[in-house]
Amino acid sequence: MRPRFRQFLLLLLSLTVLSSCDVERRRVSVGGSDEIVVWTDDANWETYGSLLEDLWHRTVRTPREEQVFSVRRVELESWGGLFNRYRNQVLCAPLDSGTQAGSMVRQYISEDAQQRIRSRREGIFFVREDIWAVDQLFIIITAPTGVELVDYLESNRSELWDLLEARYDERVGRLLFRQGEEFDIEEQLHRDYDFLVRVPWDYRLDDSRGDESFVRMINYVPERLFFAYWVPVDSLQDRGLAWIRRIESLGHLMEAGTDPEPEELVRLSQEAMNFRDRITRQYYDRDRLNRDYTTVSINDFKGRWALRLRGLWQNDEKVVGGAVVSYCFVDPATRRLWWLDGALFAPEMTRKEIYVRRLDMLLRTFMTGDEAERYQADPRGAAREDR
C-alpha cells in the first residue's frame, strides 16, 4: 500500500462509527476461516458480485484442485442474525449509491470520512475487528461512484487477497498449538542442530533419518512430513550452490520496486527444484517435484529473503504423491543455507489445503540465534500467548 494511502486508511479507521454491545463482543465467531460472507442487495451484486467472487477465487493443487476461499452472498434483510457472527464479512457498494447497500456503507462511515473519500475520488477499504463476535474481520470496500469502485476492485486484487489470506494464516497459526506443544523436541532441535521450530503436540522426531545436516519430523494423521536441511555458506561455491545468493539480490530488487526478470526467476526455480530433488533422492526414497504443478516465488521469510516453493511431489516407483511447501534461504545467524520443507500424503482426505497451510505455518515458526535463545528461555510462556 502506498504511504499516502496507508495514512488515509488509518485516518478512516479512526473516524469509523461501528458499534456493538459488550455481550455481542463475547460471542464466538462462526463459519470457517476460508468462508467470506458478502452483504449485498440485488443491484450491487449484479454489478460487483462477479468481481468479488473472482477476486477471492484462487485454486491450489493438493493434488486435486481446491479453492482457497468460498464467497457466500447474503441479503441485507438477514442483517442482525447469525450471519453477523461469521468470521470474514464484506460490505461493498459505492458511497453515493441509492441502494440499501450504499445506505449501509454511509451508516458505518462518519460524515468527515465520507467527504475525504469523495474529495480523493479513489476507492478504499477499511477494516474493523471483533464487532459482533470474537476473531472477526469486517471489511467495507467503497468509492465515491460505481465506476471508481470497479476500478478499485480491479486494481487492488492482490492487496485485498493478501488481507484475507494473512488473517487466514494467523488463525491457522494460533490453532496449530492449541492442543499442546512438544517442548522437549524443540529443546533437542535447538541443542543438537542449532535451530528450532515450534512443534505441535502430535509431531514426532524421526531419529532414524537425522544426521549432521538433516532432521525430520512426522505426523501420521494425516501423514505430514517436516524436514530441515542445511549447508554451511562457506561451501556454497564448492557445492555448486552459488545460485542461492541470487535470492537475496532479487529480493532487494523487489524491495526497491523492480520485479525480477521472468527468465531469471525461471532459472532460479529450476535450480531450486533440482536442489530439492537431490535432497529427497537421498533421504526420501527418490521423491521428486512435479514441475508442471509447482510454482516458486521470492518472499520475505521473517526478515530473510527466501525462495518459496508450493506445489506437488511424487514418487514414480511407489506411485504416490501429494502437496508440498518449502522455503530456501541463507540465515546470517547460523551462516547456513536452509531448506525447510513440509510435505503431505493424505489420499483419503477430500480437502487437503488446510493441512498444507498448517505445514506452512509450522515452517514459519523457524528460529535461530537470539530469537531461538529468547524462546528457549521461556517456551511455555511464549506458547501461552497463543491461547
pLDDT at position 22 is 45
Interval 177-186 mean pLDDT? 95
| Greatest C-alpha distance within the chain | 68
pLDDT above 50 for 11: no
User: Which amino acid is it at 355?
Assistant: Y
In contact, 181 and 379? CB cutoff 8 Å:
yes
For 145-163, what is each residue's pLDDT tens digit?
Answer: 999 999 999 999 999 999 9
At 383 the pLDDT is: 65
Residue 384 confidence class, pLDDT cut points 50, 70, 90: low
Question: What is the structure's pLDDT at 45?
Answer: 94
pLDDT tens-digit readout, 348-364: 999 999 999 999 999 99
Please give the backbone phi and psi of residue 73, each rounded to the nearest 5 degrees, phi first.
-80, 135
C-alpha grid cell, residue 87: 468470521
Q: Say yes or no to pLDDT of 99 above 80.
A: yes
More reliable by pLDDT, 305 or 18: 305
Band (pLDDT 50/70/90 cuts) for residue 26 is low
Per cent of the chain over pLDDT 70 is 92
Instruction: Report the distance separating Cα 323 and Cα 294, nearest Å.
Output: 9
The mean pLDDT value of the chain amounts to 90
125 compared with 209, residue with greater pLDDT: 125
Domain ranges of the chain: 3-175, 183-384
pLDDT of 12 strictly over 80: no
The tens digit of pLDDT for each residue in 31-81 reads 999 999 999 899 999 999 999 999 999 999 999 999 999 999 999 998 888
> So what's the pLDDT on residue 13?
44
Superfamily of domain 183-384, CATH level 4: Mog1/PsbP, alpha/beta/alpha sandwich (3.40.1000.10)
* Cα–Cα distance, 262 to 382 (Å, whole number): 41
Measure the N-to-C terminal CA separation of the chain; round to a whole number of Å: 31
Distance CA 66, CA 353 (A): 7
More confident residue, 333 or 79: 333
Highest mean pLDDT among 104-118, 210-224, 330-344: 330-344
| Helix/strand/coil for 276 | helix
Our CA angle for 343, 310, 215, nearest 5°, is: 35
